[in-house]
Amino acid sequence: MKWFVNLSTRNKLLCGFGLIVLLLALVVGVAYRGITSVQGEYKNLLKEEIQVVANLIEFRANMNRQRLDMLRMVSTNDKKEQQKIEQEVKDSSKANDKILEDLGRFGIKNPVFIKSMSEFKSLSDAYWRTRDEQISLIFQGKTDDAKKLALTVQDERFEKMRQMALDIAAQAKQREAQHIQETDNIASKAITIFLIVAVAAVVISGLLVMFLSSLIARPLRDIAQVAAKISSGNLAVAVAMEDRKDEVGLLGQAVTGMIQYLKEMAGVADSLAARDFSVSVRPRADEDMLGKAFAMMVANIRELAKEVRGGVEVLAAAASEIVAATSQISTSAAEASAAVNETTATVAEANQAAQLSAQKAGYVSETAQKTDQIAQSGKKSMAELIDGMHQIRSQIESIADSVLRLSEQSQAIGEINEAVNDLAEQSNLLAVNAAIEAARAGEAGKGFVVVAQEIRNLAEQSKQATARIKGILSDIQRAMNAAVLATEQGTKSVEAGVKQSAVAGDSLRTLADSIAESAQAAIQILASTQQQLVGMDQIVSAMENIRQASTQNLSAAQQSETAAQDLHGIGGRLRQLAESYRI
């Protein structure tokens, strides 16, 4: 039994399954033999006996038909009909010949059947010959002879043939029943063998399963339980197994090695956990991932511990420095907070100043707008003034025209006066002439002398009047000249005035534009100061925020100071911890 245990699992399985396959082949062979023998019996039955019976029945039907045809042939005289019937008879004879041939082929094995078949054949041949004789008799018109033959020889022969056919069919039926009986026997035998073999196979398979299970599955289950304990971290286990050389034995050995390896690694980890980083791990193979990883880890941890020790030194020193720095920051934050408080107060004052300047800017803007309105009205007045100046100029011009016309008219008056003076002169002369004429007339002309004298006086008065008119006219003309000069000067002055007013209007317009611009600027200044005010408010709130922030800063600085103190303490503790490592 030892050799089977040491057999590899593949060979064990091959052995077990080979046994089962042998049993199965036995069962299949038994079943095949039974079924093939049953199949042969049935083939015989179907091919021979039933075929024989069917053929004989058909043969008999054809015989009956021929007999009837012969009778019809005898009874009729019509040649055509007779020929037709003859053709039918010949056809059925051929069919019967073929049946006989088939039947002859069947009965090779059975000698009884062959003998009865040869008898039947010779009888049927005799019947065919007589029938051919009958047909020739009928064609010769000897129907009576034919009838006679039919009723005697042919009838006998027919009866005999029928009897023989029945016998043969009975024989065939008998053989048929015999075959069926044989088949039943074979089948029952095969079933019995089959059952016996099957029961044996089942029993052997169950035994095999139990054996293999005890040999393979149980040790595997034990190993699996050990592996489960290992997977839950329990390494204080061992595989209890006799020395085996199959796969199960190998598995047990491997598990034992694995437990040993893991125990070794656990020892390394234990020493690491005890802060002993001086252990060395040697990997078992190139593929020893855990061993290599442990080796690398130990090296890394050693490196790390060194670095940690250096870092902790640095950290402790830095913590001391941080403590110093945070205390400085704390004092600085306190100073900054005080400064921010002062700045907040200053900003509040600045805000008040900005509000004042915003009010002033509003006042200035209003004033500038009023000034702008005044300037606009001044501009309008200036335009009206320029219009007035233009009107004055046109009126002065019309006055100059009038004076000129007046001068011309006074000239005309002077001319008229001259004419009147001339007339007076002539009147004077006429008066003198009249006086001369009167003197010449002597006493008679005395009265006329007086008249002439008076006329002369009138002429004299006229002359005086004209002289006065002339004087007045010269006065008028002098005055006129003065007026002409004055109007010319006036025109010039007005012209200058128009120019001056235009210049003044331009100046005023420029002034008004400047004022409008300054008003605009004042509005912009107002807007700017408003914005500035808003900005100042924002600055005030911002300063308030800054103040709060600085207060918070102060408290934060104090907190960070205490935190730095804590850090310093932690640095000291870390240093102690790092010094406890063994590298």
Residue 436 makes contact with other proteins by CB under 8 A: yes
Q: Where are the beta strands (DSSP E) in 310-419?
A: none
Total site size for other proteins, rule CB under 8 A: 18
Residue 439 makes contact with other proteins by CB under 8 A: yes
Residue 428 makes contact with other proteins by CB under 8 A: yes
DSSP state string for 216-235: IIHHHHHHHHHHHHHHTT--
Work out how close the CB of 461 gets to other proteins at its nearest, in angstroms, rounded to a whole number.
Answer: 12
Residue type, 220: L
Residue 461 makes contact with other proteins by CB under 8 A: no
- CB of 179 or CB of 456, closer to other proteins: 456
- CB of 324 or CB of 450, closer to other proteins: 450
Residue 433 makes contact with other proteins by CB under 8 A: yes
- Are 157 and 130 in contact by the 8 Å Cβ rule? The answer is yes
Residue 419 makes contact with other proteins by CB under 8 A: no
Instruction: Report the residue from 138, 396, 452, 483 that binds other proteins according to the rule CB under 8 A.
Output: 452
- CB of 435 or CB of 578, closer to other proteins: 435
- CB of 359 or CB of 433, closer to other proteins: 433
Residue 491 makes contact with other proteins by CB under 8 A: no
DSSP assignment, residue 238? Answer: -
Residue 12 makes contact with other proteins by CB under 8 A: no
Return d(Cα 352, Cα 55) in angstroms, integer. 144
Work out how close the CB of 435 gets to other proteins at its nearest, in angstroms, rounded to a whole number.
Answer: 4
Residue 429 makes contact with other proteins by CB under 8 A: yes
Residue 431 makes contact with other proteins by CB under 8 A: yes
Instruction: Report the residue from 344, 371, 453, 530 that binds other proteins according to the rule CB under 8 A.
Output: 453
- CB of 25 or CB of 439, closer to other proteins: 439
Q: CB under 8 A: which stretch of 217-225, 378-386, 448-456, 553-561 binds other proteins?
A: 448-456
- CB of 358 or CB of 434, closer to other proteins: 434
Work out how close the CB of 475 gets to other proteins at its nearest, in angstroms, rounded to a whole number.
Answer: 20
- CB of 91 or CB of 437, closer to other proteins: 437
- CB of 214 or CB of 457, closer to other proteins: 457
Return d(Cα 31, Cα 193) in angstroms, integer. 8
Work out how close the CB of 439 gets to other proteins at its nearest, in angstroms, rounded to a whole number.
Answer: 4
How many residues can be counted in the chain?
583
Work out how close the CB of 463 gets to other proteins at its nearest, in angstroms, rounded to a whole number.
Answer: 11
Return d(Cα 521, Cα 368) in angstroms, integer. 9
Dmax (CA) for the chain in angstroms is: 249
Return d(Cα 440, Cα 113) in angstroms, integer. 239
- Based on the number of CB atoms within 10 Å of its own CB, is 30 exposed (0-12), middle (13-18) or buried (19 or more)? buried
Q: Where are the beta strands (DSSP E) in 278-430?
A: none
Instruction: Report the residue from 178, 214, 426, 552 that binds other proteins according to the rule CB under 8 A.
Output: 426
Query: 243's torsion region: left (phi>0), alpha (psi -120 to 50) or beta?
Result: beta
Residue 503 makes contact with other proteins by CB under 8 A: no
**Each residue of 493-510: b (16+ CB within 10 Å) or e?**
ebeebbeebeeebeebee
What is the number of alpha carbons within 13 Å of residue 538 lying toward its C-beta?
Answer: 6
Instruction: Report the residue from 167, 288, 397, 425 that binds other proteins according to the rule CB under 8 A.
Output: 425
Return d(Cα 416, Cα 429) in angstroms, integer. 20
- Are 262 and 230 in contact by the 8 Å Cβ rule? The answer is yes
What number of other Cβ atoms are within 10 A of residue 41's Cβ? 20
Residue 427 makes contact with other proteins by CB under 8 A: no
Residues that bind other proteins in the complex, under the rule CB under 8 A: 425-426, 428-429, 431-433, 435-436, 438-440, 446, 449-450, 452-453, 456
